[in-house]
Amino acid sequence: MITLHRDPVILRGNAPAPAAGLDEGQIAAGVRGTMAHGILAAHDRSGEGEALRIKFDSLISHDITYVGILQTARAGGLTRFPVKYALTNCHNSLCAVGGTINEDDHVFGLSAAQKFGGIYVPANQAVIHQYARETMVTCGGMILGSDSHTRYGPLGTMGVGEGGPEIVKQLLSDTYDIPMPEIILVYLKGKPQRGVGPHDVALALCKAVYENGFAKNKVLEFAGPGVSALSMDFRIGVDVMTTETACLSSIWTTDDDVGRYYEMHGRAEDYKSLRPVDGAVYSGMIGIDLSKIAPMIALPPHPSNAWPIAEFKANAGDILRETEREMDSQYGGKANIRLTDKLKNGEFIVDQGIIAGCAGGMYENISEAAAIMKGGSVGDGYFSLSVYPPSVPVNLELIKSGVQRALLEAGALFKPCFCGPCFGAGDVPSNNAFSIRHTTRNFLNREGAKPGEGQAAAVALMDARSVAATAASGGRLTAATEIGYAPSAHEQPGFDGGVYARRVYDGFEKPDPAAELRFGPNIAPWPDIPAMPAHLLLNLASVIRDPVTTTDELIPSGETSSYRSNPMRLADFTLSRRDPDYVPRAKAVLRASREALLNALKPFEWADVKNTGYASAIYANMPGDGSAREQAASCQRVLGGGANICREYATKRYRSNLINWGILPFTSGGDFPFEPGDLILLPNIRETVSSGGEEVHALSYSGGEVSEITLYLKNLTAEDRRILINGCLMNDYAARKDG
């Protein structure tokens, strides 16, 4: 089904082979023949080729992130958007929490687009990535988005999802700085069987490469004869899920199908053929035989926890008991879920189905679901099925073709163009329910439940085809390959962009400096962030030993995101669903008196109190998987957080968020035998950071004893170190402006 090749491969005549016998010069020349290398080099401003300084063609953000981004950029001197920047409103558009604050942020976004020359997409017009696909991508282009699923590879655009500060840098005409990434060939062959969809391929891919780190921080380059066997929606559905492999970006070969996509969307001039040169060399390869992919189900807590549905059903008891144990462990006894209760008379019974967002809500997926549901019914029991199209233009085509009517007649519900079910703000399941979803993530707590209040539910990822097959079977888990149905016509028949022309505000290259920004009462400025002191005392406010800690655990999504524009108010939710004691511990450190600092330093016999700062810190084995939201770092910072310590960071984007918010990104290099309340003193930390030191010799105080420990600050650029010393990216821009 999927094979991994860790050694370099060469692509000749559209067929891969081991790159054995090539010298370093030949390998370097071959790497330059990849599509990804060519696009990166074309956007690099360094002139060096290895330490890249990227300028993106365009930027895109949604309504959980853009207010904080704009506030930070304004503090850095923003006067106009230097590139095309779209502000979409697809995450917090229900306006159900906090009074007027959600719509206040939308009003602020429109006023900012008018003042600075941006694009404003009103609520429920389109989800962020569909709007980019329909209006912003170009073959050979690059887009930076403040959402982790910024992936547009099948359309010839390299998308990168990062935290808000990286958008700020682009808005202030700085660059995105990374080493030239490794490039992995994803070689496709064969053709999917009927009933197998893009999510099945994507989940199988995540299972093959996530846990072993095969794709981490690399670029996935899709090629091979299997590409042409896939429709555009199928390619897009696989591609958007590459985020869950922890890769940096993706790119696909383009063909006449891509050209027709651009033509249908009125942008034929933005298409060009992309393919690697003959003899392109890759650092490794993922081989996928599409004909051998089976319908998949991914159980909590990650898309990589995936099983063929047939295998899951054959071993459901054992698999569910293990899933229960893992969920109960992460809930810390605050909530219990019993998935084995869903096994009834040899069948696994599902409570809810969702087809939504940038991965599931594509025309083809919804059309296939309608074909499967034809003549059937969702029923009048506990099971429900909701469908969220990705944009109004796509929904118009679903209406015109009769697809929407067919699903409505079967008992499904159509809902707005909204990302809610993907991050816990829409269709929250009932307690102990099991929801199957064609969305991007199934992390614990992301479905909207509150385990701290005894509420827990489980989300499993499945392709829309098998979601519909389960719906047609009355909620009995069913793979789409188990039933007979006549496949739909697949391709979206047309695209009417008139709705965008009439409703979307397009102020690109038309800023109006006289326009006033409109602030709601919840929109608050960032608090003052201190620069790095000469020495720093850390108080461990949370120690998490789970294998992976997601950004959704660090700062929950869903309703809490309504407070996204008020830094201190949002910060009160930090780790609230994972370690509720974190916020009071962090605030105690933040508000500590000089006397409290003196007492904390006594065990170290440390005299230089005047030049010693006091900050909280978090330890987690592998933090930062998932969302690109900078709030996972900024909330720690406004609560006085000064460091993260871990074995390794789950993603580059989370580590970048830490740096841009002035939080020291330590690794421990081994076991970390400390607990909340333990102290770590970092003598001369400012000098160590400024001088380029990578080893930090520190003192710990735990169990009544002082010990020496070593922490590591590896792979920091000169700019990273300058930002850390100044306290955060916002301070850094202020220092440069004043200097």
Q: Does residue 97 surpass a pLDDT of 80? A: no
Q: Is the pLDDT of residue 548 over 80?
A: yes
Same-domain status, 354 and 455: yes
User: Under a CB-based contact definition with an 8 Å cutoff, are residues 613 and 543 in contact?
Assistant: no
d(CA 705, CA 692): 30
Whether residues 488 and 358 share a domain: the answer is yes
pLDDT by residue (tens digit) across 508-526? 999 999 999 999 999 999 9
> Which domain CATH number covers 688?
3.20.19.10
The first and second tokens of residue 75, run together, are 């503090």
What pLDDT score does 639 carry? 98
pLDDT tens per residue, range 147-197: 999 999 999 999 999 999 999 999 999 999 999 999 999 999 999 999 999
In this prediction the pTM is 0.95
Does 349 lie in the same domain as 264? no
* CA atoms of 214 and 306, how far apart (whole Å): 17
pLDDT at 560 over 90: no
Residue ranges in 566-683 assigned as alpha helix (H): 567-571, 582-590, 594-601, 631-638, 652-660
Residues 603 and 477 in one domain: no
* 623 is a domain residue: yes
The verdict on residue 35 lying in a domain is yes
Quote the tokens at residue 705: 């004893």
In a domain, 597, yes or no: yes
Alpha helices (H) in 538-606, listed in sequence order: 551-554, 567-571, 582-590, 594-601
Spacing of C-alpha 230 from chain mean position: 25
Q: Degrees (nearest 5) of the Cα angle 194, 157, 290?
A: 20
How many C-beta atoms lie closer than 10 Å to residue 67's C-beta? 26
The answer to whether residue 428 is domain-embedded is yes
Tell how strand 535-544 and strand 549-550 pair up.
unpaired
**Does 558 lie in the same domain as 644?**
yes
* Domain with 440 in it: 309-492
Give the pLDDT band (50/70/90) at residue 739: low
Last residue of a domain, one of 492, 521, 550: 492
Which of 239, 260, 292 is at the close of a domain?
Answer: 292
Pairing of strands 142-145, 183-189: unpaired
In terms of domains, do 368 and 335 share one? yes
Do both 200 and 287 map to the same domain? Answer: yes
Burial of 636 (0-12, 13-18, 19+ CB in 10 A): buried
Nearest of 313, 307, 309 to residue 347 by alpha carbon: 313
| Residue 96 clears pLDDT 70, i.e. is over it | no
Same domain? For 350 and 238 the reply is: no
Residue 122 belongs to a domain: no
Cβ atoms of 206 and 296 within 8 Å: the answer is no
Residue 35's CATH number? 3.40.1060.10
Mean pLDDT, the chain, integer: 95
Classified as helix, coil or strand, 357 is: helix
Distance CA(233)–CA(129), nearest Å, equals: 13
Name the β-bridge partners of 708: 699
Q: What is the mean pLDDT of residues 391-396?
A: 97
Domain count for the chain:
3
Looking at the DSSP bridge assignments, the partners of residue 665 are: 644
CATH of residue 313? 3.30.499.10
- pLDDT tens digit sequence for 414-465: 999 988 888 878 899 999 999 999 999 998 878 888 888 889 899 999 999 9
Q: Is the pLDDT of residue 558 over 80?
A: no
β-partners of residue 152 are 157
Mind listing the pLDDT tens digit for each residue in 717-730?
999 999 999 999 99
> pLDDT value at position 95?
59
Last residue of a domain, one of 292, 322, 342: 292
Query: Does 651 lie in the same domain as 684?
Result: yes
Question: Does residue 277 fall inside a structural domain?
Answer: yes
- pLDDT, position 212: 96
Same-domain pairing of 571 and 615: yes
- Residue of higher predicted confidence among 344 and 489: 344
| pLDDT for 68 | 95
CA-wise closest residue to 220 among 276, 277, 165, 178 = 276
Q: Is 518 within a domain?
A: no
User: Does 617 fall in a domain?
Assistant: yes
Alpha-carbon gap, residue 224 to 232, rounded angstroms: 15
Whether residue 225 is found in the same domain as residue 359:
no
Q: Does one domain contain both 565 and 711?
A: yes
Closest of 204, 212, 103, 220 to residue 160, by C-alpha:
220
Those residues with Cβ within 8 angstroms of residue 31's Cβ, 6 or more apart along the chain or in another chain:
37, 183, 280, 281, 282, 283
Report percent pLDDT > 70 for the chain. 99
Q: Is the pLDDT of residue 98 over 80?
A: no
CB neighbour class for 318 (10 Å; exposed up to 12, middle 13-18, buried from 19): exposed
Q: 276: Cβ–Cβ under 8 A, 6 or more apart, which residues?
A: 11, 33, 34, 35, 221, 223, 253
